[in-house]
Amino acid sequence: MTRTRTAMLAALTLVAGASGTALAAHSASAGAAAPACTVDYKVQNDWGSGFTAAVTVTNNGAATSAWSLGWTYAGSQKVTNGWNAKVSQSGAAVTAANESYNGTLSTGGSASFGFQATYSGTNAVPAAFTLNGVTCNVDGGGPTDPTDPTDPTDPPETGDRVDNPYEGAKVYVNPEWSAKAAAEPGGARVANQPTGVWLDRIAAINGVNGGMGLRDHLDEALAQKGSGELAVQLVIYNLPGRDCAALASNGELGPTEIDKYKTQYIDPIAAILADPKYAGLRIVTTVEIDSLPNLVTNVSGRPTATPNCDVMKANGNYQKGVGYALNKLGDIGNVYNYVDAGHHGWLGWDDNFGASADMFKTAATTEGATVGDVHGFIVNTANYSALKEDHFKITDSVNGTSVRQSKWVDWNRYTDELSYAQAMRDKLVSIGFDQSLGMLIDTSRNGWGGTARPTGPGATTTVDTYVNGGRYDRRIHLGNWCNQSGAGLGERPQAGPAAGIDAYVWMKPPGESDGASKEIENDEGKGFDRMCDPTYQGNARNGNSPSGALPDAPVSGHWFSAQFQELMKNAYPPLS
Protein backbone atom coordinates (compact mmCIF):
# COMPACT_ATOMS: atom_id res chain seq x y z
CA MET A 1 0.00 0.00 0.00
CA THR A 2 1.13 3.58 -0.42
CA ARG A 3 0.98 6.20 2.30
CA THR A 4 -1.94 7.88 0.54
CA ARG A 5 -4.15 4.85 0.12
CA THR A 6 -7.69 5.39 1.42
CA ALA A 7 -9.11 3.00 3.99
CA MET A 8 -12.78 2.03 3.64
CA LEU A 9 -15.70 1.83 6.02
CA ALA A 10 -15.78 -1.20 8.27
CA ALA A 11 -17.96 -4.18 7.48
CA LEU A 12 -21.72 -4.38 7.86
CA THR A 13 -23.10 -7.80 8.69
CA LEU A 14 -23.87 -9.69 5.51
CA VAL A 15 -27.19 -11.32 4.84
CA ALA A 16 -26.97 -14.99 3.86
CA GLY A 17 -29.78 -16.23 1.68
CA ALA A 18 -31.29 -19.69 1.95
CA SER A 19 -29.25 -20.72 -1.07
CA GLY A 20 -26.04 -20.31 0.90
CA THR A 21 -24.93 -17.21 -1.00
CA ALA A 22 -23.37 -14.12 0.60
CA LEU A 23 -24.22 -10.88 -1.21
CA ALA A 24 -24.16 -7.19 -0.34
CA ALA A 25 -26.09 -6.32 2.80
CA HIS A 26 -28.10 -3.72 0.93
CA SER A 27 -28.02 -1.99 -2.41
CA ALA A 28 -26.47 1.42 -2.81
CA SER A 29 -28.95 4.22 -2.48
CA ALA A 30 -28.89 7.25 -4.72
CA GLY A 31 -25.71 9.22 -4.24
CA ALA A 32 -24.08 6.57 -2.03
CA ALA A 33 -20.58 5.31 -2.74
CA ALA A 34 -20.37 1.85 -4.28
CA PRO A 35 -18.66 -0.92 -2.31
CA ALA A 36 -14.89 -1.05 -2.79
CA CYS A 37 -15.31 -4.73 -3.61
CA THR A 38 -18.07 -7.33 -3.69
CA VAL A 39 -17.93 -11.03 -2.93
CA ASP A 40 -20.25 -13.76 -4.14
CA TYR A 41 -19.75 -16.85 -1.94
CA LYS A 42 -21.81 -19.90 -2.97
CA VAL A 43 -21.96 -23.32 -1.31
CA GLN A 44 -22.33 -25.67 -4.30
CA ASN A 45 -22.42 -29.12 -2.73
CA ASP A 46 -23.03 -29.87 0.96
CA TRP A 47 -23.08 -33.49 2.19
CA GLY A 48 -23.40 -32.82 5.93
CA SER A 49 -19.76 -33.26 6.88
CA GLY A 50 -18.17 -31.32 4.07
CA PHE A 51 -18.84 -29.01 1.14
CA THR A 52 -17.48 -27.28 -1.91
CA ALA A 53 -17.80 -23.55 -2.49
CA ALA A 54 -17.36 -21.16 -5.41
CA VAL A 55 -16.24 -17.61 -4.72
CA THR A 56 -16.14 -14.61 -7.05
CA VAL A 57 -14.55 -11.35 -5.92
CA THR A 58 -15.04 -8.13 -7.88
CA ASN A 59 -12.70 -5.19 -7.41
CA ASN A 60 -14.38 -1.77 -7.65
CA GLY A 61 -11.36 0.16 -6.41
CA ALA A 62 -7.98 0.91 -7.94
CA ALA A 63 -6.43 -1.77 -10.13
CA THR A 64 -4.08 -4.17 -8.36
CA SER A 65 -1.50 -6.70 -9.53
CA ALA A 66 -2.03 -9.04 -6.56
CA TRP A 67 -5.00 -9.85 -4.37
CA SER A 68 -5.75 -11.56 -1.10
CA LEU A 69 -9.28 -12.27 0.10
CA GLY A 70 -9.88 -12.97 3.77
CA TRP A 71 -12.77 -14.16 5.89
CA THR A 72 -13.39 -15.84 9.25
CA TYR A 73 -15.65 -18.80 9.91
CA ALA A 74 -18.00 -18.82 12.90
CA GLY A 75 -18.16 -22.63 12.96
CA SER A 76 -15.80 -25.60 12.60
CA GLN A 77 -15.15 -25.31 8.85
CA LYS A 78 -11.68 -26.44 7.74
CA VAL A 79 -10.45 -25.92 4.17
CA THR A 80 -8.78 -29.03 2.76
CA ASN A 81 -7.87 -27.91 -0.76
CA GLY A 82 -8.55 -25.17 -3.28
CA TRP A 83 -8.24 -24.31 -6.96
CA ASN A 84 -7.48 -21.07 -8.86
CA ALA A 85 -6.21 -19.55 -5.58
CA LYS A 86 -3.80 -20.38 -2.79
CA VAL A 87 -6.22 -21.03 0.07
CA SER A 88 -4.78 -21.28 3.59
CA GLN A 89 -6.30 -21.29 7.05
CA SER A 90 -5.12 -20.34 10.56
CA GLY A 91 -7.68 -21.10 13.23
CA ALA A 92 -10.98 -19.74 11.94
CA ALA A 93 -9.29 -17.22 9.62
CA VAL A 94 -9.03 -18.12 5.92
CA THR A 95 -6.93 -16.38 3.27
CA ALA A 96 -7.25 -16.94 -0.48
CA ALA A 97 -4.39 -15.39 -2.48
CA ASN A 98 -4.05 -15.20 -6.23
CA GLU A 99 -2.11 -17.64 -8.32
CA SER A 100 0.64 -16.32 -10.58
CA TYR A 101 -1.72 -16.30 -13.56
CA ASN A 102 -4.71 -14.43 -12.05
CA GLY A 103 -3.22 -11.75 -9.84
CA THR A 104 -4.28 -8.74 -11.90
CA LEU A 105 -7.62 -7.21 -10.90
CA SER A 106 -8.52 -4.13 -12.90
CA THR A 107 -11.15 -1.70 -11.69
CA GLY A 108 -14.38 -3.63 -12.16
CA GLY A 109 -12.48 -6.85 -12.76
CA SER A 110 -13.33 -10.17 -11.12
CA ALA A 111 -11.56 -13.36 -10.10
CA SER A 112 -13.14 -16.70 -9.27
CA PHE A 113 -11.85 -19.67 -7.31
CA GLY A 114 -13.17 -22.67 -5.43
CA PHE A 115 -12.32 -24.89 -2.50
CA GLN A 116 -13.39 -27.95 -0.54
CA ALA A 117 -13.80 -28.04 3.25
CA THR A 118 -15.00 -30.20 6.10
CA TYR A 119 -17.26 -29.20 8.99
CA SER A 120 -19.49 -30.48 11.76
CA GLY A 121 -22.64 -28.85 13.11
CA THR A 122 -23.68 -25.80 11.10
CA ASN A 123 -22.14 -24.41 7.93
CA ALA A 124 -22.87 -20.69 8.16
CA VAL A 125 -21.75 -18.37 5.39
CA PRO A 126 -18.92 -16.03 6.53
CA ALA A 127 -20.17 -12.72 7.88
CA ALA A 128 -17.57 -10.44 6.28
CA PHE A 129 -14.83 -10.42 3.64
CA THR A 130 -11.78 -8.21 3.05
CA LEU A 131 -9.90 -7.71 -0.22
CA ASN A 132 -6.29 -6.63 0.39
CA GLY A 133 -7.41 -5.47 3.83
CA VAL A 134 -10.37 -3.41 2.58
CA THR A 135 -13.85 -4.52 3.65
CA CYS A 136 -16.13 -5.72 0.85
CA ASN A 137 -19.92 -5.52 0.44
CA VAL A 138 -20.13 -2.14 2.19
CA ASP A 139 -21.64 0.92 0.55
CA GLY A 140 -21.98 4.51 1.64
CA GLY A 141 -25.69 4.58 2.54
CA GLY A 142 -28.83 2.48 2.64
CA PRO A 143 -31.29 1.70 5.43
CA THR A 144 -28.89 3.16 7.99
CA ASP A 145 -26.36 5.95 7.52
CA PRO A 146 -22.85 4.77 8.47
CA THR A 147 -21.84 8.38 9.16
CA ASP A 148 -24.65 8.97 11.66
CA PRO A 149 -23.14 8.78 15.17
CA THR A 150 -26.58 8.34 16.71
CA ASP A 151 -27.37 5.13 14.82
CA PRO A 152 -26.61 2.18 17.18
CA THR A 153 -26.44 -0.28 14.27
CA ASP A 154 -23.59 1.58 12.56
CA PRO A 155 -20.25 -0.21 12.12
CA PRO A 156 -17.02 1.39 13.39
CA GLU A 157 -15.86 4.08 11.02
CA THR A 158 -12.44 4.35 9.41
CA GLY A 159 -11.14 7.70 8.24
CA ASP A 160 -8.94 8.30 5.23
CA ARG A 161 -5.51 6.75 5.37
CA VAL A 162 -3.19 9.50 6.55
CA ASP A 163 0.38 10.45 5.79
CA ASN A 164 1.33 10.45 9.49
CA PRO A 165 -0.72 8.21 11.80
CA TYR A 166 0.37 10.21 14.83
CA GLU A 167 -0.80 13.57 13.51
CA GLY A 168 -4.04 14.69 15.12
CA ALA A 169 -4.33 11.50 17.17
CA LYS A 170 -4.05 10.41 20.76
CA VAL A 171 -1.75 7.44 21.30
CA TYR A 172 -2.72 4.36 23.29
CA VAL A 173 -1.67 4.22 26.94
CA ASN A 174 -1.03 0.61 27.97
CA PRO A 175 -2.90 0.21 31.28
CA GLU A 176 -0.59 -2.59 32.42
CA TRP A 177 2.55 -0.47 32.01
CA SER A 178 0.76 2.60 33.34
CA ALA A 179 -0.19 0.80 36.56
CA LYS A 180 3.42 -0.30 37.16
CA ALA A 181 4.71 3.22 36.51
CA ALA A 182 2.09 4.81 38.76
CA ALA A 183 2.97 2.40 41.60
CA GLU A 184 6.55 3.72 41.65
CA PRO A 185 7.38 6.75 43.85
CA GLY A 186 7.09 9.74 41.49
CA GLY A 187 5.90 7.51 38.66
CA ALA A 188 2.54 9.25 38.31
CA ARG A 189 4.39 12.03 36.46
CA VAL A 190 4.83 9.77 33.40
CA ALA A 191 2.25 7.00 33.91
CA ASN A 192 -0.05 8.57 31.30
CA GLN A 193 2.54 8.41 28.51
CA PRO A 194 1.90 6.09 25.52
CA THR A 195 4.26 3.13 25.14
CA GLY A 196 4.59 0.18 22.77
CA VAL A 197 2.84 -3.15 23.33
CA TRP A 198 5.43 -5.90 22.77
CA LEU A 199 4.20 -9.10 21.15
CA ASP A 200 7.43 -10.94 21.85
CA ARG A 201 6.12 -14.54 21.71
CA ILE A 202 3.14 -16.47 20.50
CA ALA A 203 1.55 -16.57 23.94
CA ALA A 204 1.49 -12.77 24.10
CA ILE A 205 -1.21 -12.71 21.42
CA ASN A 206 -3.74 -14.15 23.87
CA GLY A 207 -2.09 -12.78 27.02
CA VAL A 208 0.53 -14.23 29.37
CA ASN A 209 -0.21 -15.30 32.94
CA GLY A 210 -3.61 -13.65 32.96
CA GLY A 211 -2.33 -10.44 31.39
CA MET A 212 -3.85 -8.55 28.48
CA GLY A 213 -3.74 -10.11 25.03
CA LEU A 214 -3.85 -8.30 21.69
CA ARG A 215 -7.65 -8.14 21.54
CA ASP A 216 -7.73 -6.85 25.13
CA HIS A 217 -5.40 -4.01 24.18
CA LEU A 218 -7.37 -3.16 21.04
CA ASP A 219 -10.65 -3.18 22.96
CA GLU A 220 -9.12 -0.87 25.55
CA ALA A 221 -7.84 1.32 22.71
CA LEU A 222 -11.40 1.68 21.40
CA ALA A 223 -12.46 2.83 24.87
CA GLN A 224 -9.60 5.37 25.00
CA LYS A 225 -10.32 6.56 21.47
CA GLY A 226 -13.69 8.16 22.12
CA SER A 227 -14.82 10.27 19.19
CA GLY A 228 -11.33 11.28 18.06
CA GLU A 229 -8.43 9.47 16.40
CA LEU A 230 -6.14 7.10 18.27
CA ALA A 231 -2.94 5.28 17.29
CA VAL A 232 -1.95 1.95 18.84
CA GLN A 233 1.73 0.96 18.85
CA LEU A 234 2.57 -2.75 18.51
CA VAL A 235 6.04 -4.33 18.44
CA ILE A 236 6.16 -7.38 16.17
CA TYR A 237 9.09 -9.31 17.65
CA ASN A 238 9.42 -13.08 17.32
CA LEU A 239 11.58 -13.97 14.32
CA PRO A 240 13.15 -17.44 14.12
CA GLY A 241 16.63 -17.27 15.67
CA ARG A 242 15.79 -13.77 16.87
CA ASP A 243 18.58 -11.25 17.51
CA CYS A 244 21.40 -13.65 16.69
CA ALA A 245 24.12 -11.54 18.35
CA ALA A 246 22.51 -10.88 21.76
CA LEU A 247 21.51 -13.74 24.03
CA ALA A 248 19.32 -11.64 26.36
CA SER A 249 16.78 -11.01 23.61
CA ASN A 250 16.77 -14.46 22.00
CA GLY A 251 13.28 -15.76 21.34
CA GLU A 252 11.21 -18.92 21.46
CA LEU A 253 11.60 -19.95 17.81
CA GLY A 254 14.60 -21.83 16.49
CA PRO A 255 16.48 -20.70 13.36
CA THR A 256 14.47 -22.93 11.01
CA GLU A 257 10.97 -22.39 12.42
CA ILE A 258 9.82 -19.93 9.77
CA ASP A 259 6.55 -21.79 9.09
CA LYS A 260 5.64 -21.65 12.77
CA TYR A 261 6.42 -17.91 12.75
CA LYS A 262 4.05 -17.44 9.83
CA THR A 263 1.13 -19.63 10.86
CA GLN A 264 1.19 -19.40 14.66
CA TYR A 265 2.41 -15.83 15.09
CA ILE A 266 1.89 -13.48 12.13
CA ASP A 267 -1.33 -15.03 10.77
CA PRO A 268 -3.22 -14.82 14.10
CA ILE A 269 -2.05 -11.24 14.63
CA ALA A 270 -3.17 -10.29 11.12
CA ALA A 271 -6.55 -11.95 11.63
CA ILE A 272 -7.15 -9.91 14.79
CA LEU A 273 -5.98 -6.62 13.28
CA ALA A 274 -8.24 -7.18 10.25
CA ASP A 275 -11.33 -7.49 12.44
CA PRO A 276 -13.71 -4.73 11.26
CA LYS A 277 -14.32 -3.90 14.92
CA TYR A 278 -10.87 -2.25 14.99
CA ALA A 279 -11.05 -0.50 11.62
CA GLY A 280 -11.31 2.93 13.26
CA LEU A 281 -7.93 2.60 15.01
CA ARG A 282 -4.62 3.65 13.49
CA ILE A 283 -2.47 0.60 14.17
CA VAL A 284 1.28 1.25 14.08
CA THR A 285 3.41 -1.89 13.84
CA THR A 286 7.16 -1.74 14.44
CA VAL A 287 8.47 -4.82 12.71
CA GLU A 288 11.20 -7.06 14.14
CA ILE A 289 13.63 -5.06 16.20
CA ASP A 290 17.38 -5.72 16.03
CA SER A 291 17.55 -8.65 13.61
CA LEU A 292 18.08 -7.50 10.00
CA PRO A 293 21.11 -5.28 10.79
CA ASN A 294 22.87 -8.32 12.26
CA LEU A 295 23.00 -9.78 8.75
CA VAL A 296 25.23 -6.86 7.77
CA THR A 297 27.41 -6.30 10.82
CA ASN A 298 27.75 -9.64 12.63
CA VAL A 299 28.48 -12.17 9.88
CA SER A 300 31.65 -13.75 8.53
CA GLY A 301 34.14 -11.24 7.25
CA ARG A 302 33.29 -8.74 9.97
CA PRO A 303 35.28 -8.49 13.23
CA THR A 304 32.07 -8.93 15.27
CA ALA A 305 30.88 -12.07 13.45
CA THR A 306 28.91 -14.72 15.35
CA PRO A 307 28.06 -18.25 14.14
CA ASN A 308 24.36 -17.71 14.87
CA CYS A 309 24.21 -14.72 12.53
CA ASP A 310 25.94 -16.68 9.79
CA VAL A 311 23.23 -19.33 10.13
CA MET A 312 20.46 -16.73 9.79
CA LYS A 313 22.10 -15.09 6.80
CA ALA A 314 22.45 -18.46 5.08
CA ASN A 315 18.85 -19.61 5.62
CA GLY A 316 17.29 -16.24 4.78
CA ASN A 317 14.62 -16.57 7.46
CA TYR A 318 15.04 -13.02 8.78
CA GLN A 319 14.23 -11.58 5.35
CA LYS A 320 11.45 -14.11 4.78
CA GLY A 321 9.90 -13.42 8.18
CA VAL A 322 10.01 -9.65 7.83
CA GLY A 323 8.69 -9.82 4.27
CA TYR A 324 5.85 -12.11 5.27
CA ALA A 325 4.90 -9.84 8.17
CA LEU A 326 4.96 -6.74 5.97
CA ASN A 327 2.86 -8.45 3.32
CA LYS A 328 0.20 -9.80 5.67
CA LEU A 329 -0.04 -6.72 7.88
CA GLY A 330 0.33 -4.33 4.96
CA ASP A 331 -2.85 -5.73 3.41
CA ILE A 332 -4.87 -4.30 6.30
CA GLY A 333 -6.05 -0.80 5.46
CA ASN A 334 -5.56 0.82 8.88
CA VAL A 335 -2.15 -0.73 9.67
CA TYR A 336 1.00 1.38 9.30
CA ASN A 337 4.20 -0.72 9.13
CA TYR A 338 7.49 0.73 10.39
CA VAL A 339 10.60 -1.46 9.98
CA ASP A 340 13.46 -1.37 12.48
CA ALA A 341 16.57 0.43 11.17
CA GLY A 342 18.97 0.05 14.09
CA HIS A 343 20.66 3.21 15.41
CA HIS A 344 23.54 5.46 14.46
CA GLY A 345 25.99 3.73 16.82
CA TRP A 346 25.37 0.48 14.96
CA LEU A 347 24.81 1.36 11.32
CA GLY A 348 26.27 4.86 10.95
CA TRP A 349 29.60 3.73 9.52
CA ASP A 350 30.27 3.69 5.78
CA ASP A 351 30.56 -0.11 5.70
CA ASN A 352 27.16 -0.54 7.36
CA PHE A 353 24.93 2.31 6.23
CA GLY A 354 24.28 1.58 2.54
CA ALA A 355 24.46 -2.18 2.97
CA SER A 356 21.80 -2.01 5.67
CA ALA A 357 19.48 0.08 3.50
CA ASP A 358 19.85 -2.54 0.76
CA MET A 359 19.10 -5.31 3.27
CA PHE A 360 15.93 -3.49 4.35
CA LYS A 361 14.79 -3.32 0.73
CA THR A 362 15.52 -7.02 0.22
CA ALA A 363 13.33 -7.90 3.18
CA ALA A 364 10.62 -5.49 2.02
CA THR A 365 10.42 -7.22 -1.36
CA THR A 366 10.40 -10.82 -0.08
CA GLU A 367 7.47 -13.21 0.52
CA GLY A 368 5.05 -11.08 -1.51
CA ALA A 369 5.85 -7.81 0.24
CA THR A 370 6.53 -4.59 -1.67
CA VAL A 371 8.05 -1.27 -0.63
CA GLY A 372 4.46 -0.02 -0.60
CA ASP A 373 3.85 -2.18 2.47
CA VAL A 374 6.37 -0.04 4.39
CA HIS A 375 5.04 3.22 5.81
CA GLY A 376 8.32 4.12 7.47
CA PHE A 377 11.22 3.03 9.67
CA ILE A 378 12.04 3.31 13.36
CA VAL A 379 15.48 3.96 14.88
CA ASN A 380 16.95 3.69 18.37
CA THR A 381 14.31 1.21 19.55
CA ALA A 382 15.16 0.13 23.12
CA ASN A 383 18.49 1.95 22.77
CA TYR A 384 20.17 4.94 24.37
CA SER A 385 21.69 7.07 21.58
CA ALA A 386 21.19 10.79 22.18
CA LEU A 387 18.55 12.47 20.06
CA LYS A 388 20.73 15.45 19.20
CA GLU A 389 24.28 16.28 20.29
CA ASP A 390 24.49 20.08 20.50
CA HIS A 391 28.11 20.60 21.56
CA PHE A 392 30.02 18.97 18.69
CA LYS A 393 29.39 18.34 14.99
CA ILE A 394 30.72 15.70 12.66
CA THR A 395 32.45 18.46 10.67
CA ASP A 396 34.30 19.90 13.69
CA SER A 397 38.04 19.49 14.20
CA VAL A 398 40.40 20.15 17.12
CA ASN A 399 43.99 21.11 16.40
CA GLY A 400 43.58 19.75 12.90
CA THR A 401 42.07 16.43 14.01
CA SER A 402 38.53 15.61 12.88
CA VAL A 403 35.78 14.75 15.37
CA ARG A 404 35.38 11.55 13.36
CA GLN A 405 38.79 10.47 14.65
CA SER A 406 37.79 10.73 18.32
CA LYS A 407 37.50 7.48 20.25
CA TRP A 408 33.79 8.11 20.84
CA VAL A 409 32.79 8.81 17.22
CA ASP A 410 35.37 6.38 15.81
CA TRP A 411 34.90 7.38 12.15
CA ASN A 412 31.10 7.23 12.28
CA ARG A 413 29.30 9.60 9.91
CA TYR A 414 26.71 10.61 12.52
CA THR A 415 26.80 11.94 16.06
CA ASP A 416 23.16 11.40 17.07
CA GLU A 417 19.87 9.78 16.17
CA LEU A 418 18.14 12.72 14.53
CA SER A 419 20.87 13.23 11.92
CA TYR A 420 21.08 9.47 11.36
CA ALA A 421 17.31 9.02 10.98
CA GLN A 422 17.07 11.84 8.46
CA ALA A 423 20.03 10.55 6.46
CA MET A 424 18.73 6.97 6.49
CA ARG A 425 15.36 8.21 5.30
CA ASP A 426 16.98 9.98 2.34
CA LYS A 427 18.98 6.87 1.49
CA LEU A 428 15.91 4.62 1.61
CA VAL A 429 13.92 6.95 -0.63
CA SER A 430 16.83 7.02 -3.08
CA ILE A 431 16.70 3.22 -3.50
CA GLY A 432 12.96 3.05 -4.13
CA PHE A 433 10.99 3.53 -0.92
CA ASP A 434 8.07 5.98 -0.91
CA GLN A 435 8.90 9.70 -1.18
CA SER A 436 6.67 10.30 1.84
CA LEU A 437 8.51 7.76 4.00
CA GLY A 438 8.35 8.72 7.69
CA MET A 439 10.73 7.93 10.53
CA LEU A 440 10.12 7.23 14.20
CA ILE A 441 12.75 7.76 16.91
CA ASP A 442 12.48 5.94 20.24
CA THR A 443 13.27 8.55 22.90
CA SER A 444 12.21 6.48 25.89
CA ARG A 445 15.70 6.26 27.39
CA ASN A 446 18.00 8.71 25.61
CA GLY A 447 17.51 11.91 27.64
CA TRP A 448 20.84 11.73 29.52
CA GLY A 449 19.92 14.50 31.93
CA GLY A 450 20.70 15.09 35.59
CA THR A 451 23.90 16.48 36.99
CA ALA A 452 26.08 14.67 34.43
CA ARG A 453 24.53 16.49 31.46
CA PRO A 454 27.13 18.83 29.88
CA THR A 455 26.19 22.46 29.37
CA GLY A 456 28.80 23.24 26.72
CA PRO A 457 31.64 21.82 24.62
CA GLY A 458 34.55 20.00 26.20
CA ALA A 459 38.03 21.42 26.45
CA THR A 460 39.87 21.78 23.16
CA THR A 461 43.02 20.13 24.51
CA THR A 462 42.47 17.13 22.23
CA VAL A 463 39.66 15.92 20.03
CA ASP A 464 38.79 13.38 22.75
CA THR A 465 38.53 15.94 25.53
CA TYR A 466 36.39 18.08 23.24
CA VAL A 467 33.95 15.29 22.37
CA ASN A 468 33.86 13.54 25.75
CA GLY A 469 33.43 16.77 27.67
CA GLY A 470 30.50 17.89 25.55
CA ARG A 471 28.58 14.73 24.70
CA TYR A 472 25.17 14.11 26.31
CA ASP A 473 25.36 10.34 25.83
CA ARG A 474 27.38 9.25 28.89
CA ARG A 475 27.77 5.57 28.02
CA ILE A 476 31.25 4.12 28.23
CA HIS A 477 30.94 3.00 24.60
CA LEU A 478 28.36 3.39 21.82
CA GLY A 479 28.07 -0.40 21.65
CA ASN A 480 26.72 -0.70 25.20
CA TRP A 481 23.00 -1.50 25.13
CA CYS A 482 21.88 -3.26 28.31
CA ASN A 483 20.25 -1.42 31.25
CA GLN A 484 22.66 1.49 31.01
CA SER A 485 23.72 3.30 34.16
CA GLY A 486 23.03 7.05 34.13
CA ALA A 487 20.40 6.95 31.38
CA GLY A 488 17.28 9.12 31.55
CA LEU A 489 13.88 9.50 29.96
CA GLY A 490 14.10 11.44 26.72
CA GLU A 491 11.76 13.70 24.78
CA ARG A 492 8.13 12.97 25.52
CA PRO A 493 6.18 11.32 22.70
CA GLN A 494 5.08 13.86 20.11
CA ALA A 495 3.99 13.96 16.48
CA GLY A 496 5.90 15.63 13.64
CA PRO A 497 8.81 17.02 15.70
CA ALA A 498 11.31 17.45 12.84
CA ALA A 499 11.66 17.16 9.07
CA GLY A 500 11.02 13.59 7.92
CA ILE A 501 10.19 12.41 11.45
CA ASP A 502 6.63 11.16 12.00
CA ALA A 503 7.02 11.05 15.78
CA TYR A 504 9.19 10.70 18.84
CA VAL A 505 7.86 7.59 20.58
CA TRP A 506 8.41 5.55 23.73
CA MET A 507 8.36 2.20 21.97
CA LYS A 508 10.43 0.55 24.70
CA PRO A 509 8.41 0.94 27.90
CA PRO A 510 10.68 2.63 30.46
CA GLY A 511 11.28 0.34 33.42
CA GLU A 512 11.27 -2.90 31.42
CA SER A 513 14.64 -4.64 31.63
CA ASP A 514 16.89 -5.25 28.64
CA GLY A 515 18.20 -8.48 30.12
CA ALA A 516 19.21 -10.21 33.34
CA SER A 517 22.43 -9.30 35.17
CA LYS A 518 23.02 -12.98 35.83
CA GLU A 519 21.63 -16.22 34.45
CA ILE A 520 17.97 -16.68 35.42
CA GLU A 521 15.95 -19.68 34.30
CA ASN A 522 12.82 -18.73 32.36
CA ASP A 523 10.27 -20.20 29.96
CA GLU A 524 10.51 -17.32 27.46
CA GLY A 525 13.55 -18.50 25.50
CA LYS A 526 15.68 -15.61 26.84
CA GLY A 527 19.34 -16.30 27.54
CA PHE A 528 21.97 -14.61 29.67
CA ASP A 529 24.14 -12.06 27.85
CA ARG A 530 27.32 -10.87 29.56
CA MET A 531 26.63 -7.36 28.23
CA CYS A 532 23.97 -7.19 30.97
CA ASP A 533 26.51 -8.11 33.67
CA PRO A 534 27.94 -4.99 35.36
CA THR A 535 31.24 -6.81 35.98
CA TYR A 536 31.77 -7.71 32.30
CA GLN A 537 34.76 -6.08 30.62
CA GLY A 538 33.43 -6.25 27.07
CA ASN A 539 34.08 -7.70 23.62
CA ALA A 540 34.83 -6.55 20.10
CA ARG A 541 31.33 -5.12 19.63
CA ASN A 542 31.85 -2.56 22.41
CA GLY A 543 35.57 -1.96 21.99
CA ASN A 544 36.39 -4.29 24.89
CA SER A 545 34.94 -1.76 27.32
CA PRO A 546 33.01 -2.32 30.59
CA SER A 547 29.33 -3.01 29.97
CA GLY A 548 27.99 -0.06 31.97
CA ALA A 549 24.96 -2.16 32.96
CA LEU A 550 22.97 -1.73 36.15
CA PRO A 551 23.16 -4.56 38.72
CA ASP A 552 20.36 -6.88 39.87
CA ALA A 553 18.36 -6.69 36.64
CA PRO A 554 15.60 -9.23 35.85
CA VAL A 555 14.98 -11.09 32.58
CA SER A 556 14.30 -8.86 29.56
CA GLY A 557 10.83 -7.36 29.48
CA HIS A 558 10.30 -7.76 33.22
CA TRP A 559 9.81 -4.76 35.50
CA PHE A 560 13.04 -3.25 36.82
CA SER A 561 12.22 -0.69 39.49
CA ALA A 562 15.80 0.56 39.96
CA GLN A 563 16.07 1.33 36.25
CA PHE A 564 12.76 3.17 36.22
CA GLN A 565 13.85 5.34 39.14
CA GLU A 566 17.16 6.12 37.42
CA LEU A 567 15.39 7.05 34.20
CA MET A 568 13.14 9.50 36.05
CA LYS A 569 16.06 11.00 37.99
CA ASN A 570 18.06 11.62 34.79
CA ALA A 571 15.16 12.64 32.55
CA TYR A 572 15.75 15.36 29.97
CA PRO A 573 13.66 17.41 29.59
CA PRO A 574 13.49 17.11 33.41
CA LEU A 575 10.31 15.93 35.11
CA SER A 576 8.45 18.52 37.14
Contacts of 259 (CB under 8 A, 6+ apart): none
Q: What are phi and psi of 322, to 5 degrees?
A: -65, -45
The residues of the chain scoring below 70 in pLDDT are 1-34, 138-159
The domains found in the chain, sorted by start residue, are 15-135 (2.60.40.290), 169-569 (3.20.20.40)
H helices of 201-266, in order, are 214-225, 258-260
| In contact, 440 and 379? CB cutoff 8 Å | yes
Query: CA distances (Å), 274 to each of 40, 97, 98, 336, in order?
Result: 20, 16, 19, 13
Which pLDDT does position 406 carry in this prediction?
A: 97
- 72, β-bridge pairs: 93
Alpha helices in 226-300 (DSSP H): 258-260, 267-273, 294-297
- pLDDT at residue number 148: 40
Instruction: Note the Cα 497 to chain centre separation in Å.
Output: 20
Give the DSSP letter string of 174-198: -HHHHHHHHHSTTGGGTTTS--PEE
Supply angle C-alpha 341, 343, 345, rounded to 5: 145
Instruction: Read off the pTM.
Output: 0.74
User: Which residues are designated catalytic?
Assistant: 290, 514
Model pLDDT, residue 159: 52
State the pLDDT at residue 373.
97
| Separation CA 91–CA 89 (nearest Å) | 6
Query: What is the pLDDT at residue 435?
Result: 93
